[in-house]
A and B are shown apart, each in its own frame.
Chain A
Amino acid sequence: AQSVTQLGSHVSVSEGALVLLRCNYSSSVPPYLFWYVQYPNQGLQLLLKYTSAATLVKGINGFEAEFKKSETSFHLTKPSAHMSDAAEYFCAVSGKDNFNKFYFGSGTKLNVKP
């Protein structure tokens, strides 16, 4: 069975600071991993995805994530936060046994301070 744990339901950073959002997964098979972003009153948008090609994945808006199998992690980073990055971020996993079914983490709300 697959599951995802996101550490920290709220993260606050200053504008220009590093953003680090943590995601650990549990999967019985090599997973597919995703990060989605949700802006207020909107649906989820895909930021980036890991599909067993490169372990360092670059996404939209300057975000990237690194797949670390030894740590079962897929943390999301951005070198310099922008005010427009304030949103809720969800990590999700699907397994190759059923890649249609996503398991989402509980989400991390990112606050960016001026």
Chain B
Amino acid sequence: DAGVIQSPRHEVTEMGQEVTLRCKPISGHDYLFWYRQTMMRGLELLIYFNNNVPIDDSGMPEDRFSAKMPNASFSTLKIQPSEPRDSAVYFCASSLHSNSYNEQFFGPGTRLTVL
């Protein structure tokens, strides 16, 4: 399996521009998670989906952030308009439901820099 795939790996944009981050989960996984990692706040869960439906978006910082999962093999995280404080590494992770713990598999991340 190719693992969780994220694109782009690096994104540099200017303040006010729209940014779209993409994620392809591991085939067959039914949970998808978006995390943000910064030096100041560490690793934060932004939102997660189950069977393409958003379950918990309480970590989404504000209305400028939105996430979609149109099908089981694709998800996007959009920031519009972007601000310098959004600069971070964004990770996507996926897992397969079981009756006990769910190991999360992480993608390589997208490093976003907003100038």
Contact = CB atoms under 8 A, between A and B. Distances in A.
Interface string A42-77: 111110010100000000000000000000000000
Interface string B83-115: 000000001010101001111111111000000
Secondary structure of the B side of the interface? Answer: strand
Given A32-B101, A46-B104, A100-B31, 8 more contacts: A43-B91, A43-B106, A49-B103, A99-B101, A100-B48, A100-B55, A100-B97, A107-B42
Given A45-B106, A100-B95, A101-B45, A51 B100 contact: yes
Contacts, number: 51
A34 B43 CA distance: 14
Interface of B: 4, 31, 33, 42-43, 45, 48, 50, 55-56, 91, 93, 95, 97, 100-109
Q: Interface majority SS on A: helix, strand, loop or mixed?
A: strand
B106 to A, nearest CB: 4
A90 B106 contact: no
Q: Interface centre among B33, B93, B100, by most A CB within 10 Å?
A: B100
B101 A44 contact: no
Contacts of A46: 103-105
